[in-house]
Chain A
Amino acid sequence: MLEILENNWLLFLVGQYPHGPIGGLTMTLFMAATALALCFPFAIALALARLSPYRWLRLPATAIVHTVRGLPLIMFIFWTYFVSPLVIGRAVGGVETLVIALVVYEAAYLSEIIRAGIEGLPAGQVEAAKSLGLRYWPTTFKVVLPQALHNMLPSMVSQFVSTIKETSLGYVISAHEVTFAASQVNNVLLTQPFEVYGILALTYFVLCFALTSLARFIERRTSSGRGGAPGVIVAA
């Protein structure tokens, strides 16, 4: 196993770069981070629409979230893969396809996290803002969202962990990420799939476990940080 790692660590880390496209773990992280960053505004818009008093905003947003959450990610990847060339008029690479699919998919999940964060705020916060005479947008952006997002930071890190694992599906459309790199190594060695995919598993685990621990750490800090509810510490 160590020998495989010794001979192929660069492929695992950055793919064929600099002789080919960048890939490997670097691409995995890049795609996950990009997807999450790009889906953020959509997620906020969806969350606000779902909490809107207006039916014409609430119903479509709710429909979108339920539809996306009711379908497997691989469906979105296939759709994006086959539909976006028709829309754009040219072939779309695996990386772009995966990022687009992830943005749509993660926006639905992230919007639910943000919605929970908003609904979890005491009603008095909005009432206090209203009482000052603040309108909807300043109330949302200066009072509601800063608190909701702060409280939801641990959940968002967890969502990032899910996204990292989901990028492995990029393998089926040849997005050059770490699973793709592992399969390349496996194709060269041919006889050691257990070891190769063992390394892959370990890579994912170390990364995701570290991030999950970070989420727990943040959770502990946020619960005591503002002198809010010091008793709320999540079981380790």
Chain B
Amino acid sequence: MIRFENVDKWFGPMQALAGVSGEVGRGEVKVLVGPSGSGKSTLIRTVTRLETIQGGRVLVDGTDVGSRGVDINRLRQRVGFVFQAYNLFPHLSAIGNITLGLTKLRGMNKAEARERGLAELARVGLAEKADEMPGRLSGGQRQRVAIARSLAMDPQVMLFDEPTSALDPEMVGEVLAAMKQLAASGMTMICVTHEMGFAREVADEIWFMEGGAVLERGKPAELTGTSAHSRLQAFLASTRHGGSAA
């Protein structure tokens, strides 16, 4: 489904990704973990060319994301992206955020788009907030609207860039619940997150990144089990993020 082949990325003199390779199969959930600046977010941003790369290839369903001929906007419609800062459009209501893509890209009329949007909002438990402006929603609600906005485009893959990091602790659960539900439905997902509980529960594989490279990958139990001696575990122990591991 998604393949990274020796991906290199520089920000000026700083190498953000150093020869990253890996594959995400259909229906798989990968969780990327690592210290900040390790290249996790950059890696998933290369999948929809929010970041261009200087070396290697990123393939989505066999299509080279970086090639000149590719219709990047069409590709982006198939790959949902959820941001840490939600990035809802503040001048549009919750439902307006969702229907924008449907009317502009799917050719739906307003009524069809609204119906579809309401269905997506219902999936994340926010049908009654459809006409609220984002400014009047809590962080957790905003992020769930953002997830619904992406899902409305019928993506084949969902990318999550630290979706709960900007949230107050009491709101993390509702967003993770929506993500778990999505994973259970068979969605292909790559999640950058520090929520180790989530990783243990739904990840098919955890990639531990540091310095722009994937240092370690394995099943959650192998990397975080009590008998494991992994670099991931050392990292978790050394950071406060370990506290949310339970």
- The answer for the CA separation of A27 and B135 in the assembled complex, in Å, is 42
Interchain CB contact under 8 A, A133 and B77: yes
* Contact A227 to B80, CB < 8 A, known contacts A128-B87, A147-B90: no
- The answer for the CA separation of A125 and B87 in the assembled complex, in Å, is 6
Q: State which residues 13-48 of B face A: CB under 8 Å.
A: 48
Q: Min CB distance, B78 to chain A, in Å?
A: 8
In the A-B complex, the 3 residue pairs with the smallest Cβ-Cβ separation, listed nearest first, are A227-B135, A133-B77, A128-B87
How many chain B residues touch A (CB < 8 A): the figure is 29
Q: Which of B89, B133, B134 contacts A143 (CB 8 A)?
A: B89
Contacts of A132 in B (CB 8 A): 76-77, 100-101, 105, 149-150, 153
Q: Min CB distance, A74 to chain B, in Å?
A: 39
A226 at the interface (CB under 8 A from B): yes
A19 at the interface (CB under 8 A from B): no
Interchain CB contact under 8 A, B104 and A138: yes
Q: Mark A118-134, 1 if CB is under 8 A from B, else 0.
A: 00001011011111111
Interchain CB contact under 8 A, A142 and B87: no
CB-CB nearest in chain B for A133: B77
Q: Of residues A128, A143, A150, A228, which shows the largest number of chain B Cβ atoms within 10 Å of its Cβ?
A: A128
* Contact A134 to B104, CB < 8 A, known contacts A226-B135, A228-B135: yes
Q: State which residues 205-226 of B face A: CB under 8 Å.
A: none
CB-CB nearest in chain A for B83: A124
Main secondary structure of the interface of A (DSSP, over half): helix
CB-CB nearest in chain A for B73: A133
Q: State which residues 113-163 of A face B: CB under 8 Å.
A: 122, 124-125, 127-135, 138, 142-143, 146-147, 150
Q: State which residues 86-138 of A face B: CB under 8 Å.
A: 122, 124-125, 127-135, 138
Q: State which residues 50-85 of B face A: CB under 8 Å.
A: 50, 73-77, 79-81, 83, 85
Contacts of A150 in B (CB 8 A): 91
Interchain CB contact under 8 A, B48 and A131: yes
Q: Of residues A133, A138, A146, which shows the largest number of chain B Cβ atoms within 10 Å of its Cβ?
A: A133
CB-CB nearest in chain A for B149: A132
- The answer for the CA separation of A15 and B87 in the assembled complex, in Å, is 53
Q: Min CB distance, A158 to chain B, in Å?
A: 22
Q: Which of A125, A131, A147, A226 contacts B133 (CB 8 A)?
A: A226
Interchain CB contact under 8 A, A128 and B74: no
